[in-house]
Chains A and B, each alone.
Chain A
């Protein structure tokens, strides 16, 4: 069974940092691209970024709203995905989901974790 479990959310002050983790099981993590998607309270879904797999040199893509502040990384030996968030702003308050990408012509998101809440407030 494919499982993705996020952790690391919490309350942080503006300007602070937080690192989210996503532990996966039930599939060969190293084969897949992995994404982060967030959802502000009462709002829609916003794509945060993606890390490709080893075969694609672990390259990354980011949304403009987080580029230069957030960094996506992964440890294939630990079946884990990470989101390092720096210089946090109040508008980064959201539930953060990790999601698996599967490539069928183009990579799309097929499995999602349950999410972890990040609150940026003083």
Chain B
């Protein structure tokens, strides 16, 4: 199985800040990488697919990059609604696997 490791596991930031979350795959996955946002008590929401493509309706403050084994999610100009948990997911091979999540908290 491909292991997905996110860093950091938690992150404190202020409104207006720009933050970056990293996701590393245990083996190469090309660009088959997605990012999801999950607010407390809610279902995950798709943000990014194919490592850097923005899901329809998602604001451009979210951006993704990377390929192979190393990927990043960057969120600019943080707003209160952005404080949530973020997950990366590889869909290059079965079983599909998720990172452990990064909890973004308000400083």
Interface residues in chain A, defined as those with a beta carbon under 8 Å from any beta carbon in chain B: 35, 37, 44-47, 50, 61-64, 97, 104-115
Contact A111/B101 with A47-B95, A61-B94, A61-B95 known, Cβ cut-off 8 Å: no
Cα-based distance from A50 to B96 in the complex (angstroms): 10
The distance from the CB of B90 to the nearest CB of chain A, in whole angstroms, is 10
A109 touches B46 (CB 8 A): yes
Main SS of chain A's interface residues? strand
Q: Does B44 contact A (CB under 8 A)?
A: yes
Interface residues in chain B, defined as those with a beta carbon under 8 Å from any beta carbon in chain A: 1, 31-32, 34, 36, 38, 42-46, 49-50, 53, 55, 87, 89, 91-92, 94-101
B87 touches A112 (CB 8 A): no
22 sampled A-B residue pairs with Cβ under 8 A: A35-B96, A44-B100, A45-B36, A45-B89, A45-B98, A45-B101, A61-B94, A97-B43, A104-B50, A104-B53, A107-B91, A108-B32, A108-B49, A108-B89, A108-B91, A109-B34, A109-B46, A109-B91, A110-B55, A112-B43, A112-B44, A112-B46
Across chains A and B, which 10 residue pairs bring their CB atoms closest together, nearest first? A47-B96, A112-B43, A45-B98, A108-B49, A44-B101, A110-B46, A63-B95, A61-B94, A108-B34, A106-B32
